[in-house]
Amino acid sequence: MAVLPHARASLTFLSHEEGGRQSVPTTDALTGYRYRPHIVIGDSTERETRAEVLNRAQLIYEGDGEYLGIAFGGTTSTPEADKEIEVEFAFMYYPQVTYTEAIPGATFTLREGARIIGFGTILEVEPKETIKANPKDSFGLSPEVIGC
- Cis bond leading into 25, ω under 30°? no
Please give the model's pTM, rounded to 2 decimal places: 0.78
d(CA 33, CA 54): 22
Cβ neighbours around 83 below 10 Å, total: 13
In the chain, what percentage of residues exceed pLDDT 90?
Answer: 59
Nearest Cα neighbor of 88 from 105, 70, 67, 100 is 70
Please say whether the beta carbons of 20 and 118 come within 8 A.
yes
Encode pLDDT of 12-61 as tens digits.
Answer: 999 999 989 999 999 999 999 999 999 999 887 765 554 444 444 344 44
Q: Are 18 and 142 in contact (CB under 8 A)?
A: no
Question: Contact 120/107 with Cβ under 8 angstroms?
Answer: yes
d(CA 65, CA 98): 14
Sequential DSSP letters for 41-74: ES-TT-----HHHHT--SPPPSSTT--EEEEEEE
Catalogue all structural domains in the chain, each as residue range(s) with its CATH number.
2-133 (2.40.30.10)
pLDDT band at 147 (very low <50, low <70, confident <90, very high): very low
CB 81 within 8 A of CB 16: yes
As a whole number, mean pLDDT of residues 113-131 equals: 90
